[in-house]
Amino acid sequence: MNLSFSKEDLDFKQEVVDFLDSNYPGDIKERQDKRLPLDKEQNIRWQKILSKKGWFAVNWPSEYSGSPELSLTQKYILQNVLAEYNTPVLLPFGVGMCAPVIFSFGTDKQKNQHLPAILNSDVWWCQGYSEPGSGSDLASLKTKADKEGDNYIVNGCKTWTTLAQHADWIFCLVRTETTPIKQEGISFLLIDMKTAGIEVKPIITVDGSHEVNMVFFDNVKVPCENIVGEVGQGWNIAKFLLMHERSGIAGISGLKRELSRLRELSASTIVNEGTLLDEPAFRAKIEQTEIELTATEYTELRTLSSISSGGSPGAEASILKIKGTELQQKLSELFVEMLGYYAHPFFAENELGSNDSIGPEYAGSIMPHYLNYRKVSIYGGSNEIQRNVISKAILGL
């Protein structure tokens, strides 16, 4: 056991730093540093830059990514340096979610059609899982796909579909069969969003932003060959995917950056003769958060290390989901606390940045972020469901 980096690791770190110094676009950096949302083009451009360097699909086998696989330590270094530079978080739906399903369960035709397009960020994916009546109880989903010749006819509705307004394709869980055990009639289906009969309706969230949507399917015709894996095996694929989603959900490296930013900003927030960082109550919360964050980081590293020596991400991923999202929410709360009254002026997403800020220049996005991040303990399997998973799968209760 040791925690130190080898000379090769340190060289790799320098390579990442050098790469970012010369390749991180100024306009994207500016919006990231001001905590303003990126547009579609900026997201895609950044992903293409990373992809060209071979640092985009780092969790893919090299036969699909076309790049040498990084070691666990290298991935750790890459993530941390990217986070320190405050580069955009990658959109997980294609590279982190759909692609692992395709390269693990898909046909050669599906691999050839979709993997290069995901690798190159030419196709934007979204996720069709939750339905109005099926949230935590995902397996109760009702969106139907009825076979008609070489096609499925899809009818139903998906909800909380993140960024569906930009998406070219959606991967869906659909019911291909009514079976006594509800999990057994579910299949994993890829649908082109341009197909006739699909309608996307925005859902506005408490922070005033348009991030999620409802997606309606009205007699949407989808070729049978767009099923991934076996018909009726969708639930197993969904579980596989959820485990991938949950393990990435902690976002540790980003949290480390946010925590040091909080420390920095609270050290320049005046309270009487001193600063907010000198206030014992606030300081204690920062330090407690740091300890909890460090514990979560090393829990993640232990998990990843066991995966890289042959294990698979199991229910341990649920620990990371719970702890990671709790930390994300705690930090968003502390930022709000830091601002005091200046957390209250409010501008909708599209007005942010077009106004001179009220209060400190970083103030504008902090309250919307806090409000928006109430979602993280709900999505990807609510934290209550995650605790059920741990209690059942690990504790055997």
Partner 1 sequence: MDFTFNEEQTLIQRQVEQFIQRDYDWESRQSLILTDSGYSLDNWNTFAELGWLGISISDDSGGFGGSSVDTMILMEEFGKGLVLEPFLETVVMCAELIDKAGTLEQKKDVLTDVVEGKIQLALAYAEPQSRFNLADVMTEAKLESDNFILNGFKSVVMNGPNANKFIISARTSGDQRDESGISLFLVDAEVSGLSSRDYQTVDNRRASELTLESVVIPRSCLIGELDEGFMVLDAAIDRSILAISAEAVGAMEVLYKTTVEYTKTREQFGTPIGKFQVLQHRMVDMFMEYEQCKSLLYMATMKHDEDSADAKKAISGLKYQVGNASKFIGQQSVQLHGGMGVTDELNVGHYFKRLTTIGTIFGNSDYHLKKYTSL
Residues that bind partner 1 (CB under 8 A): 130, 133-137, 140, 159-160, 203-206, 208, 212, 269-273, 279, 281-282, 333, 336-337, 340-347, 358-359, 367, 370-372, 374-375, 377-379, 382, 384, 387
A 10 A CB-CB count for 348 gives 12
Closest to partner 1 by CB, 78 vs 376, is 376
| Residue with Cβ nearer partner 1 (77 or 126) | 126
Least distance in Å: CB of 360 to partner 1?
9
| Rounded Cα–Cα distance for residues 263 and 31 (Å) | 21
Cα end-to-end span (Å), the chain: 33
Nearer to partner 1, 302 or 392 (CB): 392
DSSP string for residues in 297-312: HHHHHHHHHHHHTT--
242: nearest Cα among 55, 78, 389, 83 = 389
Cβ proximity to partner 1: between 56 and 342 the closer is 342
Read off the tokens for 58: 């780092």
Q: How far apart are CA 48 and CA 176, in angstroms?
A: 36
Q: Which is nearer to partner 1, 4 or 178 (CB)?
A: 178
Q: Which residue lies nearer to partner 1 by CB, 11 or 351?
A: 351
> Is 317 exposed, middle or buried (CB count within 10 Å of its CB: 0-12, 13-18, 19+)?
buried
CA 378-243-306 angle, to 5 degrees, is 130
> Which position has the token pair 């958060």?
289
Shortest Å distance, C-beta 211 to partner 1: 10
CB of 145 to partner 1, least distance (A): 22
CB of 119 to partner 1, least distance (A): 31
Given the structure tokens 């925590």, which residue do they identify? Answer: 259
Shortest CB 140 distance to partner 1, Å = 7
d(CA 123, CA 38): 17
The SS3 of residue 360 is coil
CB nearer to partner 1: pick between 83 and 363: 363
Q: Which of residues 3 and 270 has its CB atom nearest to partner 1 in the complex?
A: 270
Q: How far is CA 104 from CA 74, 99, 161, in A?
A: 24, 8, 24
Nearer to partner 1, 55 or 379 (CB): 379
Q: Burial level of 180, CB count in 10 A (0-12/13-18/19+)?
A: exposed
- Phi-psi bin for 380: left (phi > 0), alpha (psi -120 to 50), beta? left
Distance in Å, CB of 343 to partner 1, minimum = 7
- DSSP code of residue 138: G
Taking the complex as a whole, the smallest distance from the CB of residue 266 to partner 1 amounts, in Å, to 12
The minimum distance between CB 143 and partner 1, in angstroms, equals 16
Q: Which is nearer to partner 1, 12 or 379 (CB)?
A: 379
Instruction: Give the shortest CB-137-to-partner 1 separation in angstroms.
Output: 4
**Residue whose CB is less far from partner 1, 223 or 359:** 359
Dihedral sign computed on CA atoms, order 292, 297, 300, 305: negative
Q: Residue by residue, what is the 3-state secondary structure of 51-63? A: HHHCCCCCCCCHH
Cα dihedral 234, 235, 237, 243 in deg (nearest 10): 160
What's the min distance (Å) between Cβ of 205 and partner 1? Answer: 5
Minimum gap (Å) between residue 170 Cβ and partner 1: 17
- Give the C-alpha separation, 328 to 310, whole Å: 30
